[in-house]
Every structure is written in C-alpha cells, then in structure tokens.
Structure 1
Amino acid sequence: MPRKDNQHKMSATEITPLLGNSTSVKEVDLQNGLSAKTGEAEFSFSSVDRRRKFILVSMAFVNFCAVCSFSILAPFFPIEAGRKGASQTIVGMIFGVFELVIVISSPIFGNYISKIGCKFMYVSGIMVCGVCAILFGTLDMSPDGTIFIVMCFLCRSVEALGCSAFVTALWAILAYEFPDNVTTVMGMLETFSGLGMMVGPPIGGALYELGGYGLPFFILGSLVIVCGLLTAYAMPAIGEGSKLYEGSFFTLLKSPLVLVTFVNISVGSIALGFMEPTFAGHLSQFHLKTWLLGLMFLIAPAVYAITAPLWGYICDKKGYIRLMIAGGNIVAVFSWLIIGPAPFLPFVPDKLYINGIALVLMGLGLGCALIPTFKALLIGANSLGMENNLDTYGKCSGFFNSSFAFGAFLGPTIGGFLVDQLGFPWASCGIALLLGIGALLMLIYMCLVRKLPSLPENPVSMDTKTLNP
C-alpha cells in the first residue's frame, strides 16, 4: 500500500488524453513523480541531450545484437540436436523453456528493480546472455543423449534469466528517461528487435556453413559481451534515489485496464508464435524455393519493424491508446481469416498473393495493437496510486515482458496442436477468434469506463477521490 504522503490526485484534463482522447499528452516530470508542465508530447532526436542520445543508441544496438544471438540457432540447431539424440519434441521444449523462464522471472525482476539497481540489472543481464550464448556454442562437444539435453535446458534457462533481467530494465529505463515519449522510443527499439529477429537466422545459417556449430554463438555472444562492457563503462547512473512504492507486482492486477491489456498482449504474442511451427507447412502447397519461403516469413516482421515507430509516435502524439489496441487487433483478425483462408469465406482464393496481403495486414495490425500496451499498463498503475518513478516502471516492464513471453510460449504449442487437429484454415480461425476476444474486451472496457465512475481509470473517479489500491 502506498504511503499517504505519496498519494496524489490526477485531474480529468491530465488523464483523459492518456485514456484515448485526441488531446495531446501532458508532460510529466517522472523523475520527481509529479506533474510538471503542459505541452504536446513531441519527440525529436536532434533535441535530445547527449546523455539520453547515448542511452537510446546503445540500447538499440544491444537490442539488435541480443535478439540476433537468441534467434541464430533456428536454422541448424534442430538438425544438430537430432544428431545428439534429442527428439523434435525435446527440441521444441528447449526452445519453449526460454519463454517460460521469462514468464516467471520478469515480474520478480520488475518488483525488485529499485533494490537491485536498474543499471546493474541491465548490464548484468546483457553479460549473462552473452556468456550463455558462447557456452551454448560448445554443447556440440557434450556427450550425446541425456547429458546434452540437460545442458541445453540449463544453458537456455540461464540465458533466459539474463534476457528477462536486461529487457525488464531496458523498458523501465526508457520510461524513466523518456516519460513523455515512451511509446515513440519503444517503437524505435522494436524496429531494431524486428531487424535482429529477421537477420538472426540467415546470419546463423551463414556462419554455421562457414565455421560449424560453434561459430555463430561465439561471434554473436562475444559481440553481446562487448556491448555489455561498453554499457557498464559509459552508461550514466539511472534512477539513483528513486522513491519506492510500498506494494507488490500483484497490485497491478487490481486495475481493470491492466487485466484487459494483459489479454491483448498475450493474444498478440500467441498470434506471432503460432506462425513458427505451422506456416511453412501451409505454404508447401505452393512449392516455393527455399529463399522465397524465407522471404514470406520475413514479411510480417518487416512490416511490424518498419511501422513500429509510427505507431509509437501516434500513441504519444494523439493518445489513442485503447482505440489503437482494439483497432489493431481487428485488422489482425481479418489477416488471419484470409491467410487460411477461413472455410466460411469461400470467395477468398487460396493464392500466394492473398497470403502476402494477409502477412502485411498482420504486421500492421499487431504493431498497432502491441506498441501502445506498455503505456496502457502505466496508466493502469497510475490509477492505483502508483507514482511515476523507476519502481513503478520496473513493475510495469516486468508485467509486460511476462505477458508477452506467456503468449510466445503458448503460441507454437497451440499452433501445432490446432493444425494437427483441425488443419491450418480452421486453426487460423482460432487465432482470429483470440484476437477478436482481445479487441472486444478492450471495446467493452472503453464503453464501461465512460459509464462507470467507480472504475479506477475513469477520469471522473481519478479526479474526485484520493487514489488508493
């Protein structure tokens, strides 16, 4: 529970833009946890001071290198693991344990970010990721069978802990350093994450062909370690002397907006993860060459990466947070209905170009829906009396990472099961249904928040009573 002297009121004019109005967002001095001055939330890289430019550029580079190191094993590891006695089911579990560990650990890191130290958590997480990547590159020398499998699980689990730590700290730092443009800079970093996810597999495949199993991990792992060392030396201290919020991570669950946002983050991540084990089989009917098949897999991530900064800018500039989440999911619903295509849409031809259109819509819709979610979590936290400080940002960041990883863990599992039982057309309808449920919940919430003053996120409620979770 927050201390009485830390509780504060928010006026309707302050909170309404954040809830989806077209009015510009108020600038907030998040380092002091107090409202500061009125003005539009404009972002210009040239106007950012040197200190924050370094933070943003270094995080972009770290994001790119780290995601590359996570994704390089996709083209060759299943083959190598099979040679070492691991079944395809075990290989899938080795991939899945990474997300499962993040689901569990991210809330813990977020809850204790102020006590651990934001910069320490960020740098140490990067270093753990780099070291584990190098260690993973030595597992081809492990004895076959059980020992190899156990070492793979251990290495991926520890690497996931490092990833969870540094990503949780990363989003918290961004919110702390760029309070008025958090979704704009988040969109910019998502571009580099998307690029890393796109180029990681081909880089991994090329290095594997060049130098064998270990080379991709040795090079990318070493690059990640160098990033960590440079960050440790050059990054300024973050959030020293920040106030602590006397509440746990689970306090966030008292906000209806946080709960609805959790559903939308998870279903969006499920939709992305669904593609990994299922889409290649669906495209096999078109008898594509390998390079063209790979290109089809790149369409949705490329559109997502390119448009992410735009969605972030619109979110910060206009404040259409809830509307963007609902609208983006509705667009994504249409993409999943035509990619099958849905059996109840006989007028949609099952052609390659239709799949291409669906992938473009998928990247647009999921980008629009996912980018504003972190800001929605911040609004939910504010409505519960949690001040805008590093401790709150850590809790929201941990919640966001855990929600996304939860969907990323379920997506491939659900995808493989649905395709085996129903076939790809009906399975894609199932994903469309999940996305539709997310959009519907947000639309219902938008209606209720206007009708029920008792909701914590209602501007009237937040203006007329002291907030207390």
Structure 2
Amino acid sequence: RINKKMKINTVVSTLMGVSVLLNAAIAIVGPFFPPEAEKKGVDMKTIGYIFSAYPSAFVIVSLVMPTILHFVNQRVVFVLSAIIYAGSVAGFGSIVFMERNLMIYLGLVFRILQGSSNAALYTTTYSIFSTQYEGGDFMKVNSVFKGTIGGGLLLGLLIGTVLYIIGGYFLPFVVYSTLMLMSIPFVARIIPSKPIENEEEISKLQKSSDKDIEMGESNNSSGSETLSTSSEEDCEITITKSNRINPFKLVWNLLC
C-alpha cells in the first residue's frame, strides 16, 4: 500500500509540474506577441484571430478527447500531446523571423496545435486523477492542480520577462519548450497506461490466462494423438473387413 501511494503521489506531482510548464508558456504570448506582430504590419483584428484560435481548438478537442481515451492508451496520448505542445511553442516563438503573411498563417497553425494538445493533456490529467482519487481526496487534488495553473501563469510572466529582456522574443519560447521536451522521458516512465489500482489484478489475470492456454494446448495435443490413433485403427478395420474394391473407401483409406 505504501508503494502504491508513493507511486500515485509521484504521478500527481509530475502532472502538476507539467501543468506549471504549460501555463508558463501560455502566459508569455499575451504581453510579448502583439508588439512583435505590429512591427510586421499585422493589424489588431488579425492578432485577435490568432489569439482566438487557441481557445477554439481547446473547446473542440476537449469534447472529443473522452471518446478517444476509451480507445487509445492514456500514456501515448499524454506523451504525444506534450511533444506537439513543446514543438508548437518553439514554432510560435520563431514566427517573428518570417514575413508578414507567413507569420499570420503559421501563427494560426501553431495556436491551433497549442490549444489541441493542451486540451488533450488536461483531459488525460483529469482522467488519471479520477481513477486514483474519489470524493474529498479528488477535490483536494483538483484544487491543488488548479493552483498550479495560476502558479504557472505567474512564473511564466516573471521568468519570461527576464528572458525577454536578455534574449528578445524568441528566447522565452525556446526555454519553455526545451524544458517541456526534457521532461517528456521522465513523464513517459511515470504516467500509467492504465489505472494503478488495477495493475496487480490485470497481471494476475494475464498469468492465469497464460496457464489456461498452456493447459489447453497440452489437452489439444493429447486429444489429437488419440484421434490419430483411433483414425488409423478405423482405417485398418475398413481394409480388413471386405475384399471388395469400393472407390469411396479407397479414397478414405488413402487420406487416412
């Protein structure tokens, strides 16, 4: 029980750390992107469209993710979403080096990828929490997790401002995306592919099913041997019973 509780706490702590990184990357878009876009001649209306792409994708993907998690391993969904999110954050930081039209198109694409992957990450996180905690414990963990969202937004602005002063617009995005990519191998080992409480039961069922398969194969082999011996005896009996040549019996004897 102690090992199980420690494992669950490790998973929860990891998910909360990822949440801090996610929201830190979200926080730096608002204050830093509009001035850079205006330098390229992008009007405020288009900037608003680019900003709205993120929540639009988030809402749509959040509606379909529960169905997807019924068919796809939650660890796979989480890791792939984290990779996509980290790549889209770095990509959104690089659009300032592009000309106006390409900046607009890629800005929309990267914001859609950010919203979609973030929705997948949050849905998977809540799915993991719901399988490990119930009632009051779930509410406590959920409240702490909500706190990591605010903490990530706060730290993202504070650290992002320092990085922006040091290296300009591109540096904070690269730093946050790099931290996200560095955390993915650890997350892939920690995040369960199935509920932790059911792992022992599933392993027991797999072992018992393997034993049943082995017993079934041994029974089938012994049964096939008895059938072959009985069929050989039947063939010998049909040959010795009559001396008449019957084509049907002859074919049967040849097949036996």
TM-score by length of 1: 0.40
CA distance in 1, matches of 2:116, 2:138: 24
Q: Does 1:150 find its partner at 2:97?
A: no
1:153-164 to 2 correspondences below 5 Å: 153-164=108-119
1:47 Cα deviation from its structure 2 partner: 10
CA distance in 2, matches of 1:186, 1:89: 36
1:158 Cα deviation from its structure 2 partner: 1.0
Partner of 2:193: 237
More helix per residue: 2
Q: Percent identity?
A: 21
1:117-132 to 2 correspondences below 5 Å: 117-132=73-88
1:235 Cα deviation from its structure 2 partner: 2.7
Partner of 2:17: 61
CA gap 1:202/1:74 in 2 versus in 1, 3 angstroms: farther
Matched residue type, 2:42: A
Matched residue type, 1:87: D
Query: What does the per-residue CA deviation read over 1:397-425, in whole Å, with 9 as the maximum and x for residues that have no partner?
Result: xxxxxxxxxxxxxxxxxxxxxxxxxxxxx
1:173 Cα deviation from its structure 2 partner: 0.6
CA distance in 2, matches of 1:60, 1:153: 28
1:234 Cα deviation from its structure 2 partner: 3.0
Q: Post-superposition, which runs of at least 4 consecutive aligned residues in structure 1 deviate over 4 A?
A: none
Matched residue type, 1:74: G
CA RMSD, 1 decimal: 2.1
Q: Paired residues, what number? A: 196
CA distance in 2, matches of 1:91, 1:81: 7
Partner of 1:190: 146
Q: Which runs of 5+ in 1 are unaligned?
A: 1-45, 243-469
1:30-429 to 2 correspondences below 5 Å: 49-144=5-100, 146-180=101-135, 181-239=137-195
CA distance in 1, matches of 2:17, 2:157: 18
CA distance in 2, matches of 1:113, 1:235: 14
CA distance in 2, matches of 1:112, 1:234: 21
Q: Which runs of 5+ in 2 are unaligned?
A: 199-256
Larger radius of gyration: 2
Matched residue type, 1:189: F
CA gap 1:120/1:47 in 2 versus in 1, 3 angstroms: closer
CA distance in 1, matches of 2:108, 2:127: 28
1:238 Cα deviation from its structure 2 partner: 2.2
TM-score by length of 2: 0.72
Partner of 2:250: none
Tell me, what secondary structure is at the counterpart of 2:70?
helix
Q: Does the 8 Å CA contact 1:73/1:201 hold for their aligned counterparts?
A: no
CA distance in 2, matches of 1:182, 1:173: 11
Q: Does the 8 Å CA contact 1:97/1:157 hold for their aligned counterparts?
A: yes
CA distance in 2, matches of 1:142, 1:53: 44
Tell me, what secondary structure is at the counterpart of 2:192?
coil
Q: Does the 8 Å CA contact 1:102/1:161 hold for their aligned counterparts?
A: yes
Q: Does the 8 Å CA contact 2:132/2:195 hold for their aligned counterparts?
A: no
Q: Does the 8 Å CA contact 1:74/1:201 hold for their aligned counterparts?
A: no
